[in-house]
Structure 1
C-alpha cells in the first residue's frame, strides 16, 4: 500500500531518543527511518511526529490524539507504555484500560494502525523488577490490537534487546542501531521493503564480563538511574510530568527526504 499521510504518536522512543540527527538539533529515530523508506515508494508521502518524551498513555491520548482529526492519517504508529511501567502509581488494570482506549481511538481514526510491545529488559541490573509490569502491558497491547484490528510489532522476543550496543548511554533509549532495527521490524510488518542491513548482527563485541562489567553497571546506576529517579520524585512532589515543557518535533505533515 502506498501510504500518503504517516503520523507517529507516543513517548521518547517514538520521538527518537537516543539517536541524535547528524545535522544536529532534533532526534531522529525509527519513525524517521520508516518515513524515509515509505517515501522511497511514494515521494508524495507526508509525515508528522507528535511524540513527546516522558508521556504516559493517558497523556498521549489527551495531548496528541486531537491533532489526528486535522492530519487525517492513513497510517498511525503508536509507541507508548514505557512511562506507565515506570510510574510509581502503576496498576495493571488502569494501564490496560489506557491501552484499549488508545488503540480503539486510533483504529476509529485511521485505516492502518500499528503499535509495539516493549522489549524484555530483564538484562538490566534493575530490569527484573519491571518484567511483570512489561508482560502485563504487552498482554494488554496484544488483546486490544486483536479486539480493534490494529497491527502489532512484537519486540519482546528480540534477542538484540540483550545487547547494550543497541542502546544509548542510559541503557533505556535506543541508539541508532536499535532505531534502525525497530524501523525494519515495522516496515516488515507493513509489507514494505527495507534495508536488510538494519537487522544484520553487530560485530562481535569485546569481552566485558566479571569485575569490568559490574563496574560498568555501578557507573550506569549512579550516572543514569539515580538522577532520573530523583528527578521523577521531584516532579511528583510539585505535580509535574517528565515531558512538561517539550513540544512535538514535527507537528505538521511535511514531505520527507528518502534515505533518512
Structure 2
C-alpha cells in the first residue's frame, strides 16, 4: 500500500518485522478455525489464521486480514468460491490449505486433487503475492484416519512439488509431531482445539520467518480411564460426531452449507489475546 504520510519513516525490512500488509486466508474448517471457539465472540471461531494475523498486525502499520475459509468445503468449491474473491482483495500474503476433505473421502485420487490445488496456486501466484501452503497431518496416530495415511503422504508430496514450481512457502504439518496427540484435538477428533491451533500458528510463523513471542502450550495430563470408560467415550463420539458426518456424506450435504466466510473483507487485526 502507498503510504500517504510523507513524514512517516519508510518501512525497511529487518529481522524484527515482516513485509506483508494484507493477508488473505482461504480453505476449509482448518483455516476457518473450527474447534477453537472465540471467547470474545460467542458462536465464532478463532483458529490458527486469526492467531497469525494478530501477530502480523502487531508488527507493521496498515495491516489488514480477511478469512474466506468455510468449513466442509471440497477443493473444487474452494477454487470456485474463494480464489477470485481472494485475488480481488489484492493480498500480498495468501494462505491456502485445501484438499483435506477430498483426500479422506474413499475412492478419491490425491494426484487429481493436487492438480486442482495447483490451478488455484498458479492463479494466486500470478498476483505476485507470497503463498503459504500446508501439508496434511500425519494421521498414523489416530485410529479413525490411519487408513488414509498413504493418501495424505502422496498428497503432501504433490504439495511440496507445487510449492517448488510456484515458489511457495510450506508449513509442514506432517512434521509437526507435537500435535499428533488427541489432547490437541476437539471432541470431534477431527479438528484442532485451541492448543492445536496455537501450535499450528507457531509453525506457520516459523515458516514465514516472523519473530514472535508465542510460547508452546502444554496440554493437561492424560486422564486415567478404565477400559469401560474409554469404550463409553468412543460410543459417545460415534453417536455425536461420526454418524452425523457419515450421514452428511450419504446425503451429499456439508457442514458448511449456508455458512458464509467469517471475514470476507480485509480489515485490521490488532487484538492479541493471551492464551
Indicate whether the TM-score tops 0.5.
Answer: yes
The structure where helix makes up a greater share of residues is 1
Could you say which residue in structure 2 is the equivalent of 1:19? 36
Q: Within 5 Å, give how 1:67-216 maps onto structure 2.
A: 67-197=85-215, 199-208=216-225, 210-216=227-233
In the other structure, the counterpart of 1:50 is 68
Provide closer, same or farther for how the CA distance between residues 125 and 256 of structure 1 changes in structure 2, counting only shifts above 3 A. same
Taking the aligned partners of 2:263 and 2:54, their CA distance within structure 1 comes to 14
Structure 1: which 5+ residue stretches go unaligned?
none
2:258 aligns to what?
Answer: 245
Q: 1:115 to 1:130 in 2, by over 3 A?
A: same
- Residues 67/125 of structure 1: CA separation in 2 closer, same or farther (3 Å cut): same
Structure index of larger Rg: 2
1:226 matched to which residue of 2? Answer: 243
Q: Quote how far apart the aligned CAs of 1:146 are.
A: 0.8
Q: 1:257 to 1:127 in 2, by over 3 A?
A: same
2:12 — aligned with what?
A: none
Structure with more contact order per residue of length (Cα contacts < 8 Å, sep ≥ 6):
1
| Aligned with residue 58 of structure 2, among 40, 48, 70 | 40
Contact 2:110 2:154 in 1 (8 A): yes
CA deviation digits over 1:155-200, x for unaligned, max 9? 1122223321211110111111111111111111111122342x24
What does the per-residue CA deviation read over 1:124-173, in whole Å, with 9 as the maximum and x for residues that have no partner?
A: 22212111221121111111111111011001122223321211110111
Counterparts of 1:115 and 1:108, CA distance in 2:
15
> Structure 2, unaligned stretches of length 5 or more?
1-17
Contact 1:232 1:242 survives alignment (8 Å):
no
In structure 1, distance between residues paired with 2:236 and 2:153: 28
How far residue 241 of structure 1 moved from its aligned partner, in angstroms, is: 4.3
| Kept after mapping to 2: 8 A contact 1:116/1:154 | yes
Shift of 1:70: 1.9
SS in 1 for 2:73: coil
